[in-house]
Every structure is written in C-alpha cells, then in structure tokens.
Structure 1
Amino acid sequence: MSQDHRRLDTDLICSNILPMLRDNLALSVKFIIGHIRDKFNYTITYRKAWNAKNKAIEQIYGNWVQSYRDLPQWLIVMEKWIPGTIIRFETSPTPIQGQVFFERLFWAFKPCIQAFAHCKPIVQVDGTWLYGKYKGTLLLAVAQDGNAHIFPVAFAIVEGETKDAWNFFLKHLRENVTPQENICMISDRHASIKSAYENPSNGWNGTSSHVYCLRHVAQNFVRAIKNRKLRKYAVNMGYAPSEATFLYWRHRILKKNTAALEWVDNLPKEKWTQAYDGGIRWGHMTSNLAEAMNSVFKDIRGLPITALVQATYYRLAKLFAKRGKQSAAVLASGQQYTEACQEKILDALGKSNSCIVTEFDRRNYSFSVEETEDPHEGRPKDHFWVHLREKMCDCGKFQALHLPCSHVIAACNHANISYEAFIDDVYRVTTVNAVYDEAFPVVRSKSLWPIYEGDVVCPRADMKRTKRGRPKKTRIHTEMDDFEKREFRCGLCRVPGHNYRECPNAAGPSN
C-alpha cells in the first residue's frame, strides 16, 4: 500500500514512536515512516511524520511556547547551582505590558572557560540551524585539548548568521571565554564573521588572529574557477607546511590556468596557508572541529529552547566526568605525553633514522639535515636547516605543530640533546588532566529552584517555521562536498548505471 490513511493521524503515530523517541532523540523522520509502514502497512507523508515527532517531543520536553516562558527560570538556576556560568540574555519589548520577545542568548559554563586556558590557543566558530517549530541558529565556539579531544566552550542562540548576531557572540566570547593573547580564531569566510572580528568594540583586534577554513576557500575557488582538478592543487597549497612546497603547487597552477593563480594570489597567504601562518593554527587548516560538534548536537537542535539549553549542561557534565576519569588514570600510570603526541613522535623518530646531520654552529644549535629517502610529499629530497634555539625547521612541521619533526629529532640526537625539550606543554598529560580538573556541579531538585517573577518571555511570530514545503534537516550540499566519488543508483533496484525511469525491473502499465 502506497497511500496514506486519514485515521492514521499524528496522535496515533505519536503514541507509537514515543517510547523510541525517549531512548533515541536522533530518531529520523525516514525511520518513523518506515516503522509505521511496517506496523500498519501504510506509507505516511513526510510532513505527517515530522508533525508526529514534534508532538512526541512536546510530550517529553514541553510545549515550544511554554519553553520560552520557562527559559528565564532555568537561567536563574544555572547562575545559582552552576556558579561562574556566563549568561547574556537579550529581549525586546512587546505591545503587551509584562511580555518581552526573545532575541538572543549567550551562555558558557565555568568548567569550559577554565579548561580553555589549558588547551591549544585556537578556537573554531560556526553556526547551525535549529529544527524545532521556531527558526533560529545555534552558534558554537569549539576548542581542542592536547590529546585531540574537542569540546564546546560557548553557545549562543540567535536569529541567524547576521552581522548583529555575530557581533553579539564574538563580543561575549572574547570578553568572558577567550581573553588570552595570541588566540587564533578559525572560521569560514562569512562576511558577518569578518565584520564582527574587525569591529574594535568586540576586542579581537591586536593580539589575536583570524584565519580561514581551507575547505571553504576551496569551495569559493571552485565557484570562481570551475575546475575541480585545480581545486586539489589549491588545497595542497594551503596544506603545504613549507614555503618550497607551497611554491611547487603554485607553479603547477600557473602552468594550468593563470586566472586561477590570480584568484589564489588575491587571498592573503597568512589567512589560508600553513606555510605562512607562523604556526598560529597548530596544524588545523579547516573548521572541522566545529562541524563535528554540530553533528554531535544535531539531535537536540529540534528541542524546545529550554530543553536545548539544559541538554548542553547535562551532556557536558557527563563528558567532563568521563574524560576527567580517563585523564586521571593516564596520569596515574606515569605517562608523560598524550597518545596523540606519541603517535606523531614515533612517526618522526622512524623518519629521523634516515637523516644525515651536519653541524654548522654548535653555540646557536644550527644544523643542516639531509634526507636520504624519498619523502613522498610532492617535494624532492633536500637539505633542511634546523635552528633549535629559534625553534625553526625548513620543512615547516616544527613550527606548525609545535612538535619536533624528524629533522629536529635527528639534530637533537646528533648534539646529544633531548628532543622532549621541544614538545609544547599542551601535549603533556598533566596539562590535559588540568583541562578536565573542574567538574560540573549538580543542579538540585526542581522543587528547590528559585521562582522567576519577571516579564513573560515569548517567541517572535516571524520566527515561527512555515508549514509550506518539506521540513529540511540535512545540510545543503555545495562545492566543498566531493561529488566525484558519489555513485548514483536506481531508486527501484539500487543498481548503478540508470535511473528509475529507465529501470528494466519497473512494472508496466496496468491491464
């Protein structure tokens, strides 16, 4: 049966999926359609399944409009039971006295703020849609510790990725979460982010840096040049750790297309290349950390607003407890450096055995290191100048990752110096243990919550999601997605090479 049934309404579907949705909030609409088809032998529409899921969410987490009214009380609870939490709440007046419209909300938990001081000095920012009955955007700032673990340090719910919204987010992020010097912010080339970063009142100018995500640069490159093969060359230019490798890929673009070379040359090299960034990116060429955290929070982005804010608290509390226990166990074992660090060091140690070192200036620890094996990185075998006092190597990996490369390790072994002195402290187990040292306090019973007696918070009518069209939950694919590897299959028999209109297994006209 391929048709719907009028008595198979959203209430009946809601009662059937309610137990499943309690256990798995990420239950997809397509799964609901399949579940109802298997149980009732009817295929419901996407809209009906989506409405039924929203009804089930409403029964579990409360009404969307009531959730806006409950939000101020939860913010008071966070300030009382989770001291040190930063909350910035903006509203606007309504024609009705005693009511205000919700505009924007920024929040950051104290354990995350203190943890950032022990992480790599980089922060990645990104925005993602909300999927509930009311539109909006969730902005995230994500950090990474020395063991390659990521966690969000700040959140914001705004009307969209507008100039005012990014000003609001970046201003409070800088003031309350990332006030340290020499912070590198990684994002896409969104004009609103660039404008907010360059706004002097937001405090980012001076001792911080703003660089671009290489995936978004490649996306813009394809839109302008429309050549996917040259896109790979541009990406290799961005990832090139040394100036020599950068020039090698630049010369290959020059031989193919001069217009493409003009496009990449118009971008400031320090904004998108690893060879010229001075090591401020710590090897992070994309905003994948923020993209990964967006997918982690995908299931809660369809919740009412108060439930969404509460979910960030409970998930981070669980995450910090788990990682704190793990880092304490590693520290007790006597291990000095993180697993992510040890993997890179072991790889560099293996390559250092094939290097020949010539000493030039022992007082200043200056060496010439020659590779005897083919590096297979788009560059020929060469001599590399290593200056240990200045922490520099011609290969560029030493400056980019803040870890000794194979040439540095070979020079250290030649001079009888421990290469561990050149490993940054952020990769130490003690530093990672300090990241998760402070736990999240427990929020007490709801009967002990303080009572809110202020204005009633209401959602804006223009933010209510329209009922026209199919509700979208998947990100729109753009040029940054690699379509070349996708294999298109028939919608009926799932065999590649044709579509459902040309399928030989399709049924003919009815007799």
Structure 2
Amino acid sequence: MKNSTYFSLRVYRKMHSCSRVLTSTIENKRKGTPQVVADVLRASYPGVVDTPAPRSIVKVVQNEAHVNVSYSTALRGKKLAISQVRGSPEESFQRLHSYMYVLKLVNPGTVANVKVDGNNKFKYLFVALGASIEGFSSMRKVIVVDATFLKNVYGGMLVFATAQDPNHHHYPIAMGVIDSEKDSSWRWFLEMLKTVIPDNPEIVFMSDRHTSIAKAVQEVYPQSQHGFCVWHLSRNVRVKAANGWKNLCSKKFIECAHKYTESEFLIAYTEFGRMFPKAAEYLENGLPLEKWARWNFKGDKYNLDTSNACESMSNVFKKARKYALLPLIDAYVEKVSE
C-alpha cells in the first residue's frame, strides 16, 4: 500500500511538473522557439521519442501553447525534445565506458570495446553479446558483414556481422560503429570480431565488393573464404547493358552465378557473354570467378550468396540510426534479446 501511494504521488508530481513547465512556457515564452516546441512535446508525449512530424507539431503547438511556429522551428524543437529524452551525443559518450562495464557485468561473456583517438575523442565501437557468441557454434559458418550510414549529429557508419541458423533465420553476432568504410576501420572491426570468432578454414565471409572489406578479411582471417554479394554485383553489371536490356542482364548474370557445375556455368556464361559483351568484360577484368560463381567457390556458403541479412538489420535499426551511441546500443541489445 505504501509503495502504491508513493508511486501515485510520483505520477502526480510528474503531471504537476509537466503542467507547471507548460504554463511557464505559455506565460514567459510567447514567441514560438524550439524550446517552446520541446516543452510542449515533453508535456504532450512524455518520454516518447517518436513524436509527430514537424507539420503536425505546428498544429500541436498552436493548440497547446497558442503560439505560431514555422516548420523549421518545429523540426528543431522536435530534435531538441529527442535529445532531452535520449540524451545528447556528448552526454552519451561521457557515460559510454560505464555503460560498457555494466553491459558486460549483466551479460556474461560479452565483448565490448571502445577505441578513442589521441585527443580522447570517440573513434570506434564494438559490441558482441555473450549469448550471441555462445550461440554461433550452432550456426552456419557464413558471416555477412556490411555497413550503413548513421544519421545522428556526428555521422559515421553502423556495422553489423550476422550469420544464419539452420532454419535460414538471421542471427546477429556483433555490431559496431566506425568513422567510415576504410582499411583501418574495417581491420579494427574484424580484429575485434576475431577475438570472439577465431580464424578457421570453415569460416566464409559474404559482403559487397568494397575493397577495404576484402583487404581486411584477407589480412585478419587468412584461413577463411570470402565471397561477393551476387545482388550487388548484378547492380554493377546491369549498367553495362543497353537501355531496355538492363533487367535481363541482371537476371542472366544471377543465373550464371547460381550454376552448380562447371559445364552448366560455361553454357550459361557463354550465352551471357554473347548477349552482353561489355558486362562480361567487366566481370573478367579483376573480378575473380571464385568470388561470385557458386560452382567455383572454395568454401561452403550454403544458400547465402548475398549480404541481404545485414541490409535487413539496417532496416530494423532505421530509426535507431538517428540516436546517440547509448540509445543505439540499447536498441541493439533489446532487439537481440527478443
């Protein structure tokens, strides 16, 4: 009963506080500023990040605070309200090391690392939960790696490493944050990944044709095999075809890539080269056959010949890509723990 009364009192105080803040806003800030917008959103959507679009916020502020604001002011106020709920990027970084410590404490076996530069500024992040590391022993040994852009204040890239279970479901292994897709960034991420998944001849990596990924895989995982995403290659190949024939070019290339035997491949590829000579020339100039042709691949990549698993992860974290570091990690941990 005491706890219930205390909870009710807290709720009352919070509601009363919101009302007082909003009243102060109306009385003292008649001008429509980003802070006015943020105050209205905090009062109307307490603790919520996914507030309405700026055009709708303009009407909400008019109804609640009786002031007019422009679209740009509503947008800035929305961003300010989000930072007040989620915390600023600066605050997020200040708490990052403590968060990592607690994360490893409550998730045994977790590997989490933060790299800073000489000025103690954030550079890289790596997180692999203990449960994900342990479960990889039951997964297919094909690791898909890819990166997507972050959309927060400081930018950077969100990196994923995923596998696949025997039922073809995506299995998250690790996430990371890097500054850009360059040699040193990918090498650091794969070196961290190697601490939880050692180099092994059975390991197969799948990615797009990014030169930094290919170089890092070769240097950090020399015993593994590395294949290129057939879908990404098909997008590159189709530009070599004339207008009206691009879709057919992509389709015929994928058919060639999926052939199981050399004889089947040669028949299909000969026809492809006759129909699309420029596309065939592109493939034969510096693109090893074993990187994309199924029959010539050295390892066992099962049914995986694309990096779509990581692209699916990117879509799952579409909203979280706008967050600061701690909310971003929170979103990953929550999703993996489901």
Determine if the TM-score, normalized by the shorter chain, exceeds 0.5: yes
Deviation (angstroms), 1:33: 3.0
Q: Does residue 1:35 correspond to 2:56, yes or no?
A: yes
Contact residue 154 and residue 177 of structure 1 kept, 8 A: no
Deviation (angstroms), 1:16: 4.6
Distance in 2 separating the partners of 1:20 and 1:151: 34
Q: Does residue 1:86 correspond to 2:106, yes or no?
A: no
Q: Does residue 1:140 correspond to 2:164, yes or no?
A: no
Any idea what the Cα deviations from partners look like across 1:193-227, whole Å, max 9, x if unmatched?
A: 1121122xx2x112x10000012111222344555
Identify the match of residue 13 of structure 1 among 37, 56, 76.
Answer: 37
Deviation (angstroms), 1:21: 8.4
Taking the TM superposition and a 5 Å limit, the aligned residue runs for 1:327-338 are none
Which residue does the alignment assign to 2:269? 250
Taking the TM superposition and a 5 Å limit, the aligned residue runs for 1:458-477 are none
Which residue does the alignment assign to 1:156? 176
SS in 2 for 1:217: helix
Deviation (angstroms), 1:37: 5.5
Deviation (angstroms), 1:38: 5.4
Query: CA separation of 1:34/1:147 partners in 2, compared to 1, >3 Å: closer, same or farther?
Result: farther
Equivalent AA in structure 2 for residue 155 of structure 1: M
SS in 1 for 2:154: coil
SS in 2 for 1:51: helix
Distance in 2 separating the partners of 1:66 and 1:17: 21
Distance in 1 separating the partners of 2:269 and 2:36: 62
Distance in 2 separating the partners of 1:70 and 1:93: 19
Which residue does the alignment assign to 1:58? 83
Distance in 2 separating the partners of 1:111 and 1:190: 30
Query: CA separation of 1:163/1:223 partners in 2, compared to 1, >3 Å: closer, same or farther?
Result: farther
Identify the match of residue 255 of structure 2 among 233, 236, 240.
Answer: 236
Taking the TM superposition and a 5 Å limit, the aligned residue runs for 1:309-388 are 309-317=329-337, 319=338
SS in 1 for 2:294: coil
Query: CA separation of 1:254/1:303 partners in 2, compared to 1, >3 Å: closer, same or farther?
Result: closer
Distance in 1 separating the partners of 2:280 and 2:139: 36
Which residue does the alignment assign to 1:205? 222
SS in 1 for 2:102: helix
Q: Does residue 1:217 correspond to 2:233, yes or no?
A: yes
Q: Which runs of 5+ in 1 are unaligned?
A: 1-5, 95-99, 320-511
SS in 2 for 1:298: coil
Equivalent AA in structure 2 for residue 296 of structure 1: V
Contact residue 128 and residue 138 of structure 1 kept, 8 A: yes
Larger relative contact order, structure 1 or 2 (CA cutoff 8 Å, min sep 6): 1
Identity of aligned residues (%): 26
Q: Does residue 1:113 correspond to 2:133, yes or no?
A: yes
SS in 2 for 1:153: strand
Which residue does the alignment assign to 2:279? 260
Query: CA separation of 1:21/1:113 partners in 2, compared to 1, >3 Å: closer, same or farther?
Result: farther
Please, what TM-score do these two structures have when normalized by structure 1?
Answer: 0.54
Query: CA separation of 1:245/1:304 partners in 2, compared to 1, >3 Å: closer, same or farther?
Result: same
Taking the TM superposition and a 5 Å limit, the aligned residue runs for 1:254-333 are 254-266=273-285, 267-277=287-297, 280-317=300-337, 319=338
Contact residue 54 and residue 75 of structure 2 kept, 8 A: no
Which residue does the alignment assign to 2:93? 68
Equivalent AA in structure 2 for residue 239 of structure 1: H
Whose radius of gyration is greater, 1 or 2? 1
Distance in 2 separating the partners of 1:251 and 1:128: 36
Contact residue 260 and residue 295 of structure 2 kept, 8 A: yes
Q: Aligned Cα RMSD in Å?
A: 2.6
Deviation (angstroms), 1:233: 1.4
Deviation (angstroms), 1:148: 2.0
Distance in 1 separating the partners of 2:136 and 2:236: 31
Equivalent AA in structure 2 for residue 277 of structure 1: F
Query: CA separation of 1:231/1:183 partners in 2, compared to 1, >3 Å: closer, same or farther?
Result: same
Contact residue 127 and residue 174 of structure 2 kept, 8 A: yes
Equivalent AA in structure 2 for residue 211 of structure 1: G
Deviation (angstroms), 1:178: 4.8
Distance in 1 separating the partners of 2:81 and 2:296: 52
Distance in 1 separating the partners of 2:69 and 2:124: 40
Identify the match of residue 186 of structure 2 among 139, 144, 166.
Answer: 166
Which residue does the alignment assign to 2:195? 175
Q: Which runs of 5+ in 2 are unaligned?
A: 1-29
Deviation (angstroms), 1:184: 0.7
Query: CA separation of 1:162/1:50 partners in 2, compared to 1, >3 Å: closer, same or farther?
Result: farther
Any idea what the Cα deviations from partners look like across 1:456-480, whole Å, max 9, x if unmatched?
A: xxxxxxxxxxxxxxxxxxxxxxxxx
Any idea what the Cα deviations from partners look like across 1:428-467, whole Å, max 9, x if unmatched?
A: xxxxxxxxxxxxxxxxxxxxxxxxxxxxxxxxxxxxxxxx
Distance in 1 separating the partners of 2:46 and 2:182: 33
Distance in 1 separating the partners of 2:336 and 2:209: 29
